[in-house]
Chain A
């Protein structure tokens, strides 16, 4: 029995290894061959927006590519703004890192002893290093732009998709209601239906 199960498992494993890709989501073999029923008047941009999905892997892409979700939602100006803000964040981080390297300090040591020349005093004598301010600001900028890109971008994409679905959905219903149909305008006075039920 054990041998038999081993054979089956190794067989399944081999089949899996032979497949070209491992898909988390169910994907049919002919998905890319199927021609969708595109409503009349739909632009390519609208079609592209409607077929766009945001998945977990896009969260990872958005970490690497600033403004990724906004670009996907076809909001280029905001995408470039996020790209710029993220670039400023990275420049800030690099500046802190290289200045620490030159001064032979620990660049991420926020609680270290501050150099008196490199200190800002806030409120009741609370002292903070200038480089720490830049470090924290830059890190905040990077994280906040990422979250902003993801949350606003996703919301925007969904709103755009809703708009397209609403527009063509209503038009489709209107088409059905008003289109030329020889039977339209005739009220049925009697009907015949056949019900097939399984016993």
Chain B
């Protein structure tokens, strides 16, 4: 297990290098000259050149890249163009709000997805199964900003049960978490169902029944643990989708998270903020998938890393 963890940790290195490369070149691939933008539209040629010099844009790419990575490793992601403050401190608090939102949404989608999936699989082709699967299809195909707006419309405006926007109190959490978690719940429900249906026909399930195990235990003890194995992978991947979805959800609910902040920064062409945020979110994604792989290993005794 330790060897596995260490090996898996080593495998994140090329991914992290890849991420930093992409983020770094993003700056250069985006149309427009960063120096021009930072210096302002009315800056003359000399001022732009001076800015370019200050930003180190005249250095060869590898020098710039090395500088970027060493700085980033020390927590220095540059300064915001707009506010002039350090990117790391601008991102800081907002990052945790987004993490919180993503975390609760993931929990919700796992909880609902698993239960719905199991119920669906064990009552295959029943009315309930059909209902859940249709619902899941809706959950999947609904754009989440639209779902968010609908939730606001009904639960906040029409009935006035929950607050329209903001972040912090449990009441404020509810609507954004449902908005963001629904698609994930639908995917997990479908995955659990198909995985469960496959496992239920395995020989070892028949063995369990032949032993006289109660049906409830056959499902929740013998089948579920095996069925969870592919579901875990989906949860990891889903987390990435969730981070993307956070942008819209935060915008709809006016939550001061990283997602919304990035959108703002893109609009303002605040490159250092965009760069820093993407880097931080990518690292979070890498980290979550590392955790997923470790738990995958705990569930599945047979896995070998290749």
- Decide whether A and B are members of one complex: no
Query: Residues of A with Cβ closer than 8 Å to B?
Result: none
Query: Residues of B with Cβ closer than 8 Å to A?
Result: none
